[in-house]
Structure 1
Amino acid sequence: MSFSADFRFAARAALLSTLLALGACAVQPEPPPAPVAPPEAFSRDGERPAPQRWWTAFDDDSLNTLVDQALGANLDLRVAYERLRQARAVRDRQEAGLFPSVEANAGARRRDDGDTETDLFSAGLAAEYELDLWGRVGSRADAEALRARAGLADYRAAALSLAAEVSNTWFQLLTQRTQRQLARAQLDTNQDVLSLIRARFAIGESASADVLRQRQLVAASREQLLNVEARIEVLEHQLAVLLGVPPGAVTLPGDGTLPALPPLPATGLPAELVRRRPDLLGAWYQLQAADADLAAAVAERFPRLTLSASLTSESEDSADLFDDWLSTLAGNLVLPLVDGGQRRAEARRFRSLREQRVYEYGQAALVAFQEVEDALVQERQQQRRMDSLREQVELADTAYRQLRIQYVNGAVGYLEVLSALQDRQELRRTLITARQELLAFRVALYRALAGGFPVTEEDENA
């Protein structure tokens, strides 16, 4: 090799090394700032971690069946699954750019030479491959792979929300069924009191206004029962839709009762929560995808080198078509020179999008910490409220019994008995609702703490 040839080779190698070094710097932007620092610990903690399928902690076979059915048939969850499949298809399409593309072609044409016509047959193969010098193709593939992982996290978050919604709806239905039993019992009690007042009115020991007031209370009790019946039907319809069937097309479990509150689960460390919750994982993958998008946008400003190769054969006789081949090998270098600042602006857009994802991830982490603390506070306060309600119910029962005895003996008026009776009945209804609210706070805690449990149609190739 001559001196001039050696010099040209060395110059080309030096230029290529320099471009590679610049490209490596360009496609590795500075790491994004870390999300907000998590607190050291949550305000309360239990002894055992919540099970992955957390609703089983309520020890309610009917609830377990309903959640399993919803996870397999809910249409909103199926929509989320199809979004996941779309994201995976986009990932696979983008990753195809990492490999050469090969196409086969075949043709036939007739050539007119003036006096004669000749049939020509052709066949060939063509291949093309872009050398990913600056990581543009790889960064785009990485971005779509990360978005597919975010899609899986979103799917798991949707399943988690669905399980919580089914649990809450089931507990509300059980509550209203209990309220219906109570409303029937209270209606019977109010009718008994009405009979007592009518008997006293008949002998002149009660006023007609007392009878009217008690009749009004009986009518209100009937209205209360009608309202409860309507709420039961609405909740049954809601539960049917969550199960993926039309209202009235599913046989729900029998009456049942509200389950007892399970022991408080171990809340763990807030830093572990960030790595476990599917919505936070999804936000993290979106952040990483934005970082890969930025790398690809920066790489767009550097040259592209594409290699192409082809094999062709042409013959007048199809039997001799593959006897002679013509091969070509070419390289194509494209260097963007003037684009009016389009690529630079696109890089700025992706840099801003990456910063947006950083803030979204930090905000999602803050909300996750808040949800856990809110559920813990609400559950603790609700337990205290229920203790107060139970005490009030006992006092109201005692007061009503004593006032009724005094009323029969003529020591107090009917209005005092009526007020005590209404307070007693309202407190009992409130206590039942408070039990359901306590379970709802526990569901919120499980939802805030739980990770993305596997779902029936889920596969792990994201």
Structure 2
Amino acid sequence: MHPLVVSWSRARAAVLSALLLALAACAGQPPSSSPPVATPELFSRSGEAAAPQQWWVAFDDAALNRLVDRALGANLDLQAAYQRLNQARAVRARQEAGLFPSLEARAGAERRDDGDSETDLFSAGLAAEYELDLWGRVGAQADAEAFRVAASGADYQAAALSLAAEVANTWFELLTQRTQQELASAQLDTNRDVLSLIRARFGIGESASADVLRQRQLVEASREQLLTVQARTRVIEHQLAVLLGEPPKGVVFPDDGTLPALPPLPATGVPAELVRRRPDLRQAYFQLQAADADLASAVAERFPRLTLSASLSNETTDSEALFDDWLATLAGNLVLPLIDGGQRRAEARRFRSLREQRLYEYGQATLVAFQEVEDALVQERQQQRRMESLREQLALADSAYRQLRIQYVNGAVGYLEVLSALQERQELRRTLITARQELLAFRVALYRALAGGFPVPEEEENA
């Protein structure tokens, strides 16, 4: 070979190598698996009880266990999340097909009429094509879709976790409203009894007519409170039925349950473990990894592509000789992008910016996760202290009401003092019931903030 030809070949190879190295540098460094935020060493509080993956069983409520299991199998939003996961799996399978050669078979028959005679022409052939993934473009695209499948799986787990928490909170609210209904009915009876007492005293001239009117107004207010609680109970039953994938009034719920006791405080563990365990954080991480793979694919789009193709074909007028004397071809096709107006470069910039966006979203989701754990811990502890105060207030209100009632019967105090004490006593009882439900809601929030994902259903084989 002439020396000039050899020198030109070497120079061209050197230029091409330098170009490829420069393009590869545009891909940047792969993202870190750690979120770009400071991770605390420990949470502010921690218990000793290990929180089970199915955290709702810690409440020891058989009815709640059945409701959650039923919702996980029938809730329509969760089923939709599962179908999104299946769609991602199908896209992954489609993209992974590009890693393998494609083979097509063709067959045809036609009749040609040249005016004097008719000729039957038969053809058959096989064609194969395969792109050599020299720069990892096809593999990066497949990796991106694999990460999106993982993100969709984590999204399904997060949806299941949220559904379980919503069912638990709705069930506890239903039990609360039933308790409030019983209390409202009892308070209505109490206020009617007091009204009878005042009317009797009014009949002998020991009470004023205004006292009777005020007590009648309290009786009507108690009746209105009972009606409100009954309506709220029906609404919550409808909400719970829809969570179970059933129409309103389509489910009969057990009516003998009461609010459970608060389980022991679970071990909160190490914040770094929370990042690896929570499904929403794993979803954000997989989205980050997918964006990084997309960037690698976009950079590889600027590299040359080498495609190999092979074919076997035959065309004859004799159908019996169709499979004789095949014509075989083998070809290679090299495509090097030269000028595209900056389209590929702009696409690479877009994916680089998307990767940075996913990185910051991952960090934000991690901060929110830490916040949710700390918020739940603080709210639960403060709610326990609040309930202690409410119980003390209720005990004092009971004592004050009893003493004022005795004094009123003896004529030592007026009715307004008794009425005020009675209303405060009844309001404290209603508030204490609601506070118990709020305490359980804070514990559900803690379990949800600490929980990992549930198993993801396997992909169904469809014909």
Common fold, TM-score beyond 0.5?
A: yes
Residue 92 of structure 2: aligned partner: 91
Number of the residue aligned with 1:37: 38
**Runs of at least 5 residues in structure 2 that lack an aligned partner in the other structure:** none
Q: Which residue of 1 aligns with 2:21?
A: 22
Give 1:71-86 correspondences, 5 Å limit: 71-86=72-87
* Residue number in structure 2 paired with 1:210: 211
Aligned residue in 2 for 1:414? 415
Aligned to 2:253: 252
Distance 2:439 2:111 in 1: 85
Contact 2:262 2:440 in 1 (8 A): yes
| Letter of the structure 2 residue corresponding to residue 314 of structure 1 | E
C-alpha change, 1:87 and 1:336, in structure 2 (3 Å) is: same
- Match status 1:377 vs 2:378: yes
Go from structure 1 to structure 2 and tell me whether the alpha carbon gap of 1:114 and 1:218 turns closer, same or farther (over 3 Å shift): closer
Give the partner amino acid of 1:162: L
Contact 2:53–2:452 (CA under 8 A) maintained in structure 1 = yes
CA-atom RMSD in angstroms: 2.3
CA contact (8 A) 2:81 2:155 kept: yes
Alignment of 1:339-350 (within 5 A): 339-350=340-351
Q: Distance in 2 between matches of 1:119 and 1:12?
A: 56
Give the deviation of 1:189 after TM superposition: 0.5
The letter for the 1-side match of 2:430 is: R
Secondary structure of the 1:42 match is coil
* Structure 1 residue 302 corresponds to structure 2 residue 303: yes
Q: Which moved more, 1:357-366 or 1:109-118?
A: 109-118
The SS at the match of 1:266 is: coil
Give the residue type in structure 2 aligned to 1:55: W
TM-superposed deviation, 1:115: 4.1
**Residues 311, 328 of structure 1: 8 Å contact kept:** yes
Separation (CA, whole Å) in 1 of partners of 2:96 and 2:14: 29
Q: Which residue of 2 aligns with 1:449?
A: 450
* Pairs within 5 Å for 1:6-21: 11=10, 18=17
User: What is residue 165 of structure 2 aligned with on the other side?
Assistant: 164
8 A contact 2:86–2:459 mirrored in 1: no
Counterpart-to-counterpart distance in 2, 1:111 and 1:415:
111
Q: Which aligned pairs between 1:253-402 and structure 2 lie closer than 5 A? A: 253-402=254-403
Deviation (angstroms), 1:226? 0.1
Q: Secondary structure at the match of 2:310?
A: strand
Residue 124 of structure 1 aligns with an amino acid whose one-letter code is G
For 2:295, what is the secondary structure of its paired residue? helix
Q: Distance in 2 between matches of 1:458 and 1:170?
A: 30
Q: Please say if residues 306 and 332 of structure 1, whose CA atoms lie closer than 8 Å, have aligned partners that are also in contact.
A: yes
Tell me, what secondary structure is at the counterpart of 2:391? helix
**AA at the equivalent of 1:31:** P
Mapping for residues 45-64 of structure 1, pairs under 5 Å: 45-64=46-65
Q: Which amino acid aligns with 2:98?
A: G
Of the structure 1 ranges 238-247 and 336-345, higher mean CA displacement relative to structure 2 is found in: 336-345
Query: Larger deviation: 39-48 or 24-33?
Result: 24-33
Instruction: Tell me if structure 2 keeps the 8 A contact 1:23–1:302.
Output: no
Q: Which residue of 1 aligns with 2:221?
A: 220
SS in 1 for 2:199: helix
Give unmatched runs, 5+ long, in structure 1.
Answer: none
Q: Is the 8 A contact 2:20 2:303 kept in 1?
A: no
Distance 1:77 1:321 in 2: 55
1:32 touches 1:355 (CA, 8 Å); kept in 2? no
- Aligned 8 A contact 1:164 1:444 in 2: yes
Q: Which amino acid aligns with 1:442?
A: R
* Deviation per residue, 1:151-208 (Å, 9 max, x gap): 0000000000000000000000000000001011101110010000000000000000
Tell me if the contact between 1:45 and 1:268 (Cα under 8 Å) persists in the aligned partners: yes
1:37–1:458 distance in 2 versus 1, CA, 3 Å: farther
Q: CA deviation at 1:30?
A: 1.3
Question: After alignment, is 373-382 or 73-82 more displaced?
Answer: 73-82
1:410-458 superposed Cα distances (whole Å, 9 cap, x missing partner)? 1111000000000000000000000000000000000000000125x45
**Residue pair 1:41, 1:270 contacting (<8 A) in 2 also:** yes
User: Could you tell me how far apart the structure 1 residues matched to 2:93 and 2:18 are?
Assistant: 29
**Kept in 1: contact 2:91–2:145 (CA 8 A):** yes
**Alpha-carbon distance between aligned partners in 2 of 1:458 and 1:244, rounded to the nearest angstrom:** 21
Matches within 5 A, 1:136-151: 136-151=137-152
Tell me how far apart the structure 1 counterparts of residues 324 and 18 of structure 2 sit (CA, whole Å): 43
Matched-pair contact (CA < 8 Å) for 1:77–1:155: yes
Distance 1:253 1:446, change over 3 A: same
Measured after TM superposition, the shift of residue 118 of structure 1 is 2.2
Q: TM-score, normalising length from structure 2? A: 0.95
- Normalising by structure 1, we get a TM-score of 0.95
SS of the counterpart of 1:314? Answer: strand
C-alpha separation between the residues in 1 aligned to 2:134 and 2:11? 15
Does structure 2 retain, via aligned residues, the 8 Å contact 1:174–1:255? no
> What amino acid is the match of 2:434?
T
Of the structure 1 ranges 362-371 and 86-95, higher mean CA displacement relative to structure 2 is found in: 86-95
Q: Where does residue 181 of structure 2 map in the other structure?
A: 180
Three-state SS of the structure 1 residue aligned to 2:53 is: coil
State the alpha-carbon separation in 2 of the partners of residues 268 and 223 from structure 1. 48
**Per-residue deviation, 1:119:** 1.2
Tell me how far 1:3 sits from its aligned partner.
Answer: 8.2
User: Which residue of structure 2 aligns with residue 122 of structure 1?
Assistant: 123
Count of paired positions: 459
Letter in 2 for 1:443: V
